[in-house]
Amino acid sequence: MSRQGVGWYRHWISFQTIFIKEILRFTRIWVQTILPSVITTTLYFVIFGRLIGDRIGTMGGLDYLDFIVPGLVLMGVITNAYSNVVSSFYSSKFSRYIEELLVSPAPDWVILAGYVAGGVARGLVVGLAVMLVAMVFTEIRIHSVAVTLLVITMTAVLFALGGFINAVYANSFDDISIVPTFVLTPLTYLGGVFYSIELLPAFWQGVSLANPVLYMVNAFRFGLQGVSDIPVGIAFGIIAIFILVLGAFSLHLLRRGVGIKT
Amino acid sequence: MPALDVQQLTKTYKGGFQALKGIDLTVEEGDFFALLGPNGAGKSTFIGILASLVNKTDGSVRVFGEDQDRTPELVKSFIGLVPQEFNFNLFLPVVEVVVNQAGYYGIPRREAKVRAERYLKQLDLWDRRDTEMRKLSGGLKRRLMIARALVHEPRLLILDEPTAGVDIEIRRSMWTFLRELNAGGTTIILTTHYLEEAESLCRHIAIINHGEIAERTSMLTLLNRLNTETFVLNLKGRLSELPQLGGFVLQHLDDCTLEVEMSREHTVNGLFEALSRNGIEVISLRNKQNRLERLFLEMVDRRADAGWSSSDPANAPDAARKVTA
């Protein structure tokens, strides 16, 4: 137990171990985890950007192809950050190897941070890959590197937390696909990825403002292109509040052992 | 300071089933301790609480003086668990399972690799270090669970049926390994299907039944309680009529096999003298039943028959006979 000790160093090692394990997991099966998002968004760029986009003209003051780039990047980040954590954590529950962590002295927040960091890593890798694909179709100039990186990271953290909560409550592999299919996809598609909410009637604009993804897409669009339907400060505030609420709830679930202890 | 000090430990599951009903148990440091009980007695719940896999309802758990509620991380670092069920990521290579486990305990990767090599070699798994878990046999998986539980060098090792389903050769080698580990100072708590295993390895024993401790004593004291012993003798010739041997109760199993029950007052030498006097030659003999198994059954049956703490008295005797320890 010479270097085992107690405290931050040990927690750091525990975190590192979970994080590396998560990265190895999704990179080992990259054909299942990275490639599908790249292929899907390439199709989006070809069909909506090139073929249809040329006929649409401009959106929010930008060429349509340029307009959809931030949304498509963020869509890849959201779905991958979410699905990495939900599938990895649920698998560890299903095959009971979550017990390896539960018997260890790694605190709840370290376990949560490790899984979330793994989800963020996959989200960012896919985001970068989609961005590289976008560069094939259009020129990308980043308006604000700080805003871009902050939004993309915070969004990945938020949806990784969402994936964790989903995994805690899931009792079957069906349960881990319900939220992505029936909640995440509609929220993303209605979150201003393909259109500006200015196109909507006033009532639907109001409804759209209840969609948290809208704030993320617009803040990210501001970071990349300097335009947004929403004030960026409000967008950051809302993402931060969601992170705090979901983070606190996730820790509460872990502390109580919901879904993992009897 | 005891390795384990449990006071008034209770567990009531959702739905009201009370698995543990106020257990008090102390295990001294350095002991090799058997925890036996029939199916559903509460052993796995008890072990689950010690290992922080099950939330207790009430009571206290202290490991080497540290309270599980106050210093959970320290208590966890003292304990190594070999669970009953396999709980691996089946797609990971053997060595990665052990290295990761060390990492969860805060052991840096370089040191974790050194320790993984040491324990995998000790348990004859080093040659399989790059094999994916799903390709290992049941016996190898059981050994890997021991290596994984030891990688953080725990002071208290808890083994929940570690030899279930492994062949006799691997079981014997695991016994040797565990004896050496215990001799090196590691306190061991063992539950097992095989009462012969508990009798051979453990110095103290607790029998848990219906969520309560039915007995807690030393193995020697418990075995001394047996007043009679039964042997099965294979005879050289046929025996048509049972002779009368004073102090021995004889029973024919078949023409060439005799069952002899004798009290502790008599000796095996005395038995052979009596048999020789009657012209009976014996080829071989064996104990009819493992001694601990017999005591265990007597104890569990007696308490079940007395309606002892049974939540469902109608089923209790049947449940008690399922000796799975």
pLDDT of residue B230: 82
Give the pLDDT band (50/70/90) at residue B178.
Answer: very high
The secondary structure of B5-55, three-state, reads EEEEEEEECCCCCEEEEEEEEEECCCCEEEEECCCCCCHHHHHHHHCCCCC
Measured in whole angstroms, how far is the alpha carbon of residue A149 from the centre of its chain?
A: 13
pLDDT of residue A181: 87
Tell me which residue has tokens 């100072």: B185
Give pLDDT tens digits for B284-306: 988 876 666 766 777 666 655 54
Percent of chain B with pLDDT over 90: 53
Reply yes or no on whether the pLDDT at A123 is more than 90.
Answer: yes
Measured in whole angstroms, how far is the alpha carbon of residue B283 from the centre of its chain?
A: 33
Reply yes or no on whether the pLDDT at B318 is more than 50.
Answer: no
Kindly list the residues of chain A whose beta carbon comes within 8 Å of any beta carbon in chain B: 1, 3-6, 9-11, 13-14, 16-18, 21, 91-92, 95-97, 99-107, 256-257, 261-262
Phi/psi of residue B42, each to 5°? 120, 5
Q: Are the C-beta atoms of residues B4 and B189 closer than 8 Å to each other?
A: yes
pLDDT of residue B304: 55
Q: What is the mean pLDDT of residues B85-114?
A: 95
Mutation target vs A (from B47, B95, B104; most A CBs, 10 A cutoff): B104
pLDDT of residue A133: 92
pLDDT of residue B169: 82
Residue B72, token pair as written in the block? 């959970």
pLDDT of residue A87: 95
Distance (Å, whole) CA B260 – CA B231: 5
Closest Cα partner for B31 from B2, B63, B60?
B2
Q: Which residues in chain B have their CB less than 8 angstroms from residue A104's CB?
A: 76, 101, 104-105, 152
Helix/strand number for chain B, H first, E second: 11, 14
Q: Does the distance separating the beta carbons of A11 and B54 come in below 8 Å?
A: no
Q: Are the C-beta atoms of residues B49 and B241 closer than 8 Å to each other?
A: no
Give pLDDT tens digits for B219-257: 878 777 766 778 888 998 888 888 888 778 888 888 888
To the question of domain B227-287 being in CATH 3.40.50.920, the answer is no
Q: Are the C-beta atoms of residues A19 and A118 closer than 8 Å to each other?
A: yes
Q: What is the mean pLDDT of residues B159-166?
A: 86
Distance (Å, whole) CA A169 – CA B25: 35
Nearest to B104 among A1, A101, A257 (CB): A101
Give the pLDDT band (50/70/90) at residue A100.
Answer: very high
Domain boundary assignment for chain B: 4-223, 227-287, 294-320
Pick among 3.40.50.300, 3.30.70.600, 1.20.1270.10, 1.10.3720.10: CATH of B4-223: 3.40.50.300
Mutation target vs B (from A20, A96, A103; most B CBs, 10 A cutoff): A103
Reply yes or no on whether the pLDDT at A223 is more than 70.
Answer: yes
Mean pLDDT over all residues of chain A?
A: 90
The DSSP code for B93 is B
Nearest to B55 among A3, A5, A261 (CB): A261
Phi/psi of residue A21, each to 5°? -60, -40
Distance (Å, whole) CA B190 – CA B202: 8
pLDDT of residue B95: 97
| Residue A7 burial (CB count, 10 A) | 9
pLDDT of residue B41: 86
The DSSP code for A46 is I
Distance (Å, whole) CA B39 – CA A61: 72
Q: Does the distance separating the beta carbons of B55 and A262 come in below 8 Å?
A: yes
Give the pLDDT band (50/70/90) at residue B144.
Answer: very high
Q: What is the mean pLDDT of residues A100-125?
A: 97
**How close A24 comes to chain B (CA, Å)?**
10
Domain boundary assignment for chain A: 8-256
| Residue A164 burial (CB count, 10 A) | 26
Q: Which of A47-61, A69-83, A178-192, A199-213 has the lowest mean pLDDT?
A: A47-61
pLDDT of residue B226: 67
Q: Report the DSSP beta bridge partners of residue B9.
A: B23
Reply yes or no on whether the pLDDT at A222 is more than 60.
Answer: yes
H or E, element range at B98: helix B94-104
Closest Cα partner for B223 from B194, B203, B253, B252?
B203
pLDDT of residue A210: 86
pLDDT of residue B89: 92
Q: What is the mean pLDDT of residues A128-154?
A: 92
Nearest to B100 among A3, A11, A17 (CB): A17
Q: What is the mean pLDDT of residues A46-58?
A: 79
Residue of A nearest to B85 (CA): A96
Q: Does the distance separating the beta carbons of B105 and A95 come in below 8 Å?
A: no
Distance (Å, whole) CA B148 – CA B120: 9
Distance (Å, whole) CA A123 – CA B79: 36
pLDDT of residue A33: 92
The secondary structure of A128-148, three-state, reads HHHHHHHHHHCCCCCCCHHHH
Mean pLDDT over all residues of chain B?
A: 86
DSSP string across B139-205: HHHHHHHHHHHHTT--SEEEEESTTTT--HHHHHHHHHHHHHHHHTT-EEEEE-S-HHHHHHH-SEE
Nearest to B85 among A13, A96, A257 (CB): A96
Give the pLDDT band (50/70/90) at residue A5.
Answer: very low
Buried-state track B246-270, b at ≥16 Cβ within 10 A, e below 16: eebebeeeeeeebebebeeebeeee
| Residue A159 burial (CB count, 10 A) | 33
Tell me which residue has tokens 């059981």: B142
Q: Are the C-beta atoms of residues A152 and A119 closer than 8 Å to each other?
A: no
pLDDT of residue A91: 95
pLDDT of residue B311: 36
Q: Which residues in chain B have their CB less than 8 angstroms from residue A99's CB?
A: 53, 81, 83, 87
- Give every CB contact of residue B277 below 8 A, 6+ residues apart in sequence: none
Distance (Å, whole) CA B15 – CA B259: 49
Distance (Å, whole) CA B125 – CA A110: 30
Buried-state track A217-230, b at ≥16 Cβ within 10 A, e below 16: bbbbbbbbbebbbb
pLDDT of residue A184: 87
3-state secondary structure of B56: coil
Reply yes or no on whether the pLDDT at B320 is more than 80.
Answer: no
Give pLDDT tens digits for A155-176: 999 999 999 999 999 999 989 9
- Give every CB contact of residue A80 below 8 A, 6+ residues apart in sequence: A33, A37, A119, A122, A123, A125, A126
